[in-house]
Amino acid sequence: MDARLDFFTNPITGKALKHVMSAGRVVKDSALPAATQELVSLRVSQINGCAVCIDMHTKEAAAAGESPVRLHLVAAWREAGVFSEAERAALELAEAGTRVADGAGGVPDEVWENAARHHDEEQLAALLMLIAFMNMANRLNVITRQPAGDYEAGRFH
């Protein structure tokens, strides 16, 4: 399958993505734990059906030492006992923030409050930006049918 658009050679998307990637670097360098970042990125991508991001974040997490068991259980995190309470709160916020169109009223207060109990303000802000960033990236990739499977960990570092 070929992508409908090459983001990096197109002048509009190329310019815009430079800024987006810079913003993504701010989140990457934040106090939000790297494992949490990858788990959240993976879960948002699973919900949105973004194969290229699932490929990327699974491989990045594995390269960083994440266990195969935890990666396989991200899709069923509620029933899995392998995630910390802070990770569970981040995954819950990621799901609620990704599925805003599915529920009237957006993200419930109790979901936000649970995430705030486990993350300080800097981590919470980074988590919020990551969820929004991943939803945007997933939509760009799904709309343009970006192919998955050939990502190599570290490609964008």
- 18-77 pLDDT tens trace: 999 999 999 999 999 999 999 999 999 999 999 999 999 999 999 999 999 999 999 999
The fraction of the chain above a pLDDT of 90, given in percent, is: 83
Q: What are residue 132's phi and psi, to 5 degrees?
A: -65, -45
Q: Quick check: is 157 in a domain?
A: no
Range with lowest mean pLDDT among 4-13, 26-35, 41-50, 132-141: 4-13
pLDDT at 154 over 80: no
Domains: count for the chain: 1
Q: Is residue 151 one of the residues assigned to a domain?
A: no
**Has this prediction a pTM greater than 0.85?**
yes
Tokens matching residue 16: 């815009």
pLDDT on residue 101: 86
pLDDT mean across residues, the chain: 94
In whole angstroms, what is the distance from residue 37 CA to residue 97 CA? 15
Mean pLDDT across the stretch 118-142?
Answer: 97
Structural domain includes residue 102: yes
Distance CA 88, CA 72 (A): 15
Would you state the pLDDT for residue 39? 97
- Residue 104 reports pLDDT greater than 90: no
Report yes or no on 123 lying in a domain.
Answer: yes
Per-residue pLDDT, 35: 95
Q: Residue 44: give the domain boundaries.
A: 11-143
Is 85 a member of any domain?
A: yes
| Average pLDDT of the residues in 85-106 | 92
What lies within 8 Å, CB to CB, of 25 at 6+ separation is: none
Angle between helices 121-143 and 109-118 (to 10 degrees): 120
User: What integer pLDDT is reported at residue 157 of this predicted model?
Assistant: 66
Q: Are 100 and 128 in contact (CB under 8 A)?
A: no
Confidence of residue 149 (pLDDT cuts 50, 70, 90): confident
Are 123 and 32 in contact, with CB atoms under 8 Å apart? Answer: yes
List phi, psi (to 5°) of 3: -70, 150
pLDDT at 155: 79
CATH code of 137's domain: 1.20.1290.10
Whether residue 153 lies inside any domain: the answer is: no
Give domain status of residue 15, yes or no: yes
Residue 156 lies in a domain: no
